[in-house]
Structure 1
Amino acid sequence: MVTTTGRRTKATAALAAGALALTGCAGNSDGGDEADGDTTLTFAWWGDATRADRYEAAIDLYEERNPGLTIQSSYAGWGDYWTARNTEAAGGALPDVFQMDVAYLRQYGATGQIQPLDQYVGEQIDISSFPESVMPGTKIDDQVYGIPTQTTVLATFFNTALMDQVGVDLPSGDLTWDEYDALLGEIGAADADTDPPVDGSVQYTQIWSVFEIWLLQQGRSLFAEDGGFGFTESELAEWWGRATPLFESGGFMDPGRGEQIESDPLSAQYTASEISFYNFLVRFTEGTGGDDFTMLEVPADDPTSRGVYLKPGLQLSMSAQTDHPEVAADFIDFLTNDPAVEEIFAMSRGVPISATAREGNQPEGLDQEIQDYWEAVEATAIDAPAPPPEGAGAVEAEFTRIAQDIGFGALSVEEGVEQFFLAGADLLG
């Protein structure tokens, strides 16, 4: 369901009031001449009510600085969000500015639904402090179609308290994939007789982004330059085949049990580890009531080839049909670079890509752990892959569905691989 925001909540007002203290140190955010008079800009994003409160606080601040400018905003969960954008795109009515994910960038950019932003970069939109390794993931045919506000990167989480409870030592350094699998099995075996038992992890072989890292570590990729797959059937079979012994050992949570859990299994303390995005540290800690977590880099058989990159997943794009491109560009710069905006979000979207925005951070505790991890990875990250071909989002959904069917025992690995390549040929066609 798509939610349109109306009145500002008390929480939103409080966030905005706090941010106003930083107004004097903001960068370019006056909206330009085009914002004079009565101008309305539409803006959409995916997320939950908490993200909505933060965005609305930022919008309040921007409107405060730009009298006569109104931002009409809406948000939805991930699936409903893209359904709404697809419908709008078909009718030529996309929001002026909206959150973009790299998986959909080519779908909207190559078809002319969003416009290249190069003419605004360096003038209205400042990307001078962005890590260069991120930018390949924002471009189609060497033109920038999305401006990342934050980047995502994978980490391996361990619930330190739960590991101690089950009597399994926390790893102290790098892990290979086999070592990680053995550790998950050890967790499952150590707590198999308790009620409820603690499993090692959810089925990481169903996660598209984890599969991508495993491929990159071997010099492979999800997609080839011709738009087809960059991996073979045997490589996919090897990856999905990792799940069988882990289900048998308790290293992976039984998928039937997972369906009965409303919250994330790691947050609910049903699992002790998970490979997920680094900015989930706060969510996991809140879910467990304050347990300590340790973040390590993703497993790798060769620590000099981790395949990890800063993914520009949360980008901002501009509709090709907007009537107010200059205002839209200024609003994008505001959301990306203004330290007052980052004070509002407090790294809830991850570490800001902009050095200027990071000036709005005063990280402590968990936020400091998140920033330290990001900085460590940023120093060695490889270049982000180019945006995937059109249909990549549907391919990812099919990958997850088939992997889950394998986990339930409804398909063999060989049957799943055959299904995936047949479906993928149509989805990418």
Structure 2
Amino acid sequence: MFKIRTRRAALAAVAATASAALVLTGCAGGGDEPAATYDPDEEVTLNFAFWGNDVRAEMYEQAIAAFNEEYPNITVNSSFLGFPEFWEKRQTEAAGGGLPDVMQFDYSYLRQYSENGLLLDLEPYLGNIIDTEPLSENILGIGVVNGETTGIPTSTNAWGMYTNPKLLEEAGVDEFAGGSWEDYNDWMAEVTEAGGGDLWGGTDWTGRIQNFEVQQRAKGEDLFTEEGEPNFTEEDLAAFWEQGSEIREDGTVITQQRLEETYPLSGFDSALTASELTWDNFGAGYLGNLGEGFTELGLVAPPVTEEGAQDLYLKPSMLHSIASTTEHPEAAATLLNYLVNAPEVGEAFGTNRGIPASETQLEGAELDPLGQQIADYEESIADRLGDAPPVPIVGYGTLEEKFRLLGTELGFGTLTVDEAVEQFFAEMDVVLNQ
């Protein structure tokens, strides 16, 4: 199999064969189909869209400038918006058939756009124009919808647990040493007792759908099947929420009322709790909100439901996709490959988009201490990493928010577990059948 050229090899190849068409061949996804090709002498203009701010825009400018050193005949017109406005514009463009050639893409929208035929199947370009060697099978599988690869992750994050070493030292309690969910509850109770009413061990973890997902995956069951059907029962959900009853009632975790007073900050970045189960890319935000005096965080694996289970997975911080209507699929795939794999892009972004999913891009990134800590954490949980779950169902974000709101009501004591389960399944029925 011929691998995609490195930047240095590519420059040499272009210099030697400036007037010849560049033919990139590969085994992955190729079969008997003709190899994907890109003619370096062809003048091509691509539209590229991303969400972000001026800081990210400067990073993309640097990355695209490096891209144009290698591909001077591909002009890239980039544009960006805030996250909500980005998707509002994509919906308008999708209705009119005018999506950008290449797009930064969010995981929660991947199924919707893929099933509507709006995204290009990248399979013919994998292993030739799009280098797959620096990307693990787990990472490549993240972008597969109904058997078609419609997105390539640029970066990853994983579910983990942040802790606050400074607060733990002041309370005289050691770091959570790992163990079961019951062990975690006991540790939180120890912190809360030592905190004397000013510090709690953590928040009611049954209010997050991701912790329910971790426990279900420990049993070998994702929350939803490939067909988008629920893969859990009312009894499963009731049993999960019941695990939070005791820690809510005995004061182990911070009260819901206290959390409401700190909103929009969480108990963790308000320095009121010593731990928080969340995605590992939240660390920079926590440090920023904690402010002066807090210079480091702990990052450990979530509690274990069943020893040896592959209950965790790498989730894309974002992906890159190509519109199915692009008139230049080979050139678009060339740009996508560069944005995902090039070390120059890693140098431009660092961890702005998360920990780079590509080994070659990770090599180019200069990781700050927190970024290195996250990278080390993801390496440390390798034995617990399984295949990513099926791409989220259309409307998953609505269900995630409903789960959180019901967890809030359980915290206030305004709902019983049975009532919460009934409401969640009613909401899920609406989402799945809309």
Tell me the TM-score normalized by structure 1: 0.84
What residue number does 1:358 align with?
A: 362
Task: Judge which range, 32-41 or 412-421, deviates more.
Answer: 32-41
Q: Tell which has more relative contact order, 1 or 2 (C-alpha 8 A, sep 6+).
A: 1
Q: Quick check: 1:343 aligned with 2:347?
A: yes
Could you tell me whether the CA contact under 8 Å between 2:310 and 2:383 is conserved in 1? no
What residue number does 1:204 align with?
A: 205
Change (3 A) 1:149 1:225: closer
Change (3 A) 1:206 1:126: same
What residue number does 2:80 align with?
A: 74
What residue number does 2:302 align with?
A: 298
SS at match of 2:381: helix
Change (3 A) 1:140 1:359: same
Change (3 A) 1:382 1:406: same
Change (3 A) 1:165 1:376: same
Q: 1:161: Cα distance to partner?
A: 1.0
Change (3 A) 1:336 1:378: farther
SS at match of 1:402: helix
What residue number does 1:6 align with?
A: none
SS at match of 1:414: helix
Q: Quick check: 1:388 aligned with 2:389?
A: no
Q: 1:132: Cα distance to partner?
A: 1.3
Q: 1:81: Cα distance to partner?
A: 4.1
SS at match of 2:400: helix
Rounded to whole Å, the distance in 2 between the matches of 1:354 and 1:186 is: 41
Task: Judge which range, 415-424 or 316-325, deviates more.
Answer: 316-325
Deviations, residues 39-83 of structure 1 (Å, cap 9, x unaligned)? 2413123x4554444334323443565366132221323x55444
What residue number does 1:267 align with?
A: 269
SS at match of 1:229: coil
What residue number does 2:216 align with?
A: 215
Change (3 A) 1:218 1:373: same
Change (3 A) 1:98 1:208: farther
Rounded to whole Å, the distance in 1 between the matches of 2:44 and 2:388 is: 40
RMSD: 2.9
Which structure 1 residue ranges, 4+ long, deviate > 6 Å from structure 2?
26-31
Deviations, residues 289-340 of structure 1 (Å, cap 9, x unaligned)? 3433222111113231150112234211111222332232122111100111
Q: Quick check: 1:132 aligned with 2:137?
A: yes
Residue type matched to 2:222 in 1? S
Q: 1:177: Cα distance to partner?
A: 0.6
What residue number does 2:376 align with?
A: 372
Rounded to whole Å, the distance in 2 between the matches of 1:75 and 1:161 is: 38
Q: Quick check: 1:247 aligned with 2:248?
A: yes
SS at match of 2:411: helix
Rounded to whole Å, the distance in 2 between the matches of 1:207 and 1:90 is: 34
Rounded to whole Å, the distance in 2 between the matches of 1:43 and 1:140 is: 22
What residue number does 1:164 align with?
A: 169
Deviations, residues 182-207 of structure 1 (Å, cap 9, x unaligned)? 222332333243xxx22322343232
Could you tell me whether the CA contact under 8 Å between 2:207 and 2:408 is conserved in 1? yes
SS at match of 1:71: strand
Structure 2 gap segments, 5+ residues each: 1-5, 15-21, 23-37
Task: Judge which range, 337-346 or 286-295, deviates more.
Answer: 286-295
Rounded to whole Å, the distance in 2 between the matches of 1:420 and 1:36 is: 54
Change (3 A) 1:24 1:319: closer
What residue number does 2:96 align with?
A: 91
Aligned with residue 332 of structure 1, among 317, 333, 336? 336
Q: Quick check: 1:114 aligned with 2:116?
A: no
Residues 35-54 of structure 1 mapped to structure 2, 5 A cutoff: 37=43, 39-45=45-51, 47=52, 50-54=55-59
Could you tell me whether the CA contact under 8 Å between 2:351 and 2:371 is conserved in 1? yes
Q: 1:238: Cα distance to partner?
A: 1.9
Could you tell me whether the CA contact under 8 Å between 1:188 and 1:249 is conserved in 2? no
Identity of aligned residues (%): 32
Change (3 A) 1:310 1:257: same
Could you tell me whether the CA contact under 8 Å between 2:181 and 2:305 is conserved in 1? yes
Aligned with residue 175 of structure 1, among 146, 167, 179? 179
What residue number does 2:281 align with?
A: 279
Aligned with residue 424 of structure 1, among 419, 424, 428? 428
Tell me the TM-score normalized by structure 2: 0.83
Larger Rg: 2
Could you tell me whether the CA contact under 8 Å between 2:201 and 2:275 is conserved in 1? yes
Residue type matched to 1:69 in 2? T
Change (3 A) 1:264 1:98: farther
Could you tell me whether the CA contact under 8 Å between 1:149 and 1:335 is conserved in 2? yes
Structure 1 gap segments, 5+ residues each: 1-22
Could you tell me whether the CA contact under 8 Å between 2:165 and 2:298 is conserved in 1? yes
What residue number does 1:231 align with?
A: 232
Residues 140-155 of structure 1 mapped to structure 2, 5 A cutoff: 140-155=145-160
Rounded to whole Å, the distance in 1 between the matches of 2:216 and 2:274 is: 25
Task: Judge which range, 59-68 or 296-305, deviates more.
Answer: 59-68
Residues 312-331 of structure 1 mapped to structure 2, 5 A cutoff: 312-331=316-335
Rounded to whole Å, the distance in 2 between the matches of 1:242 and 1:149 is: 36
What residue number does 2:419 align with?
A: 415
Rounded to whole Å, the distance in 2 between the matches of 1:250 and 1:257 is: 12
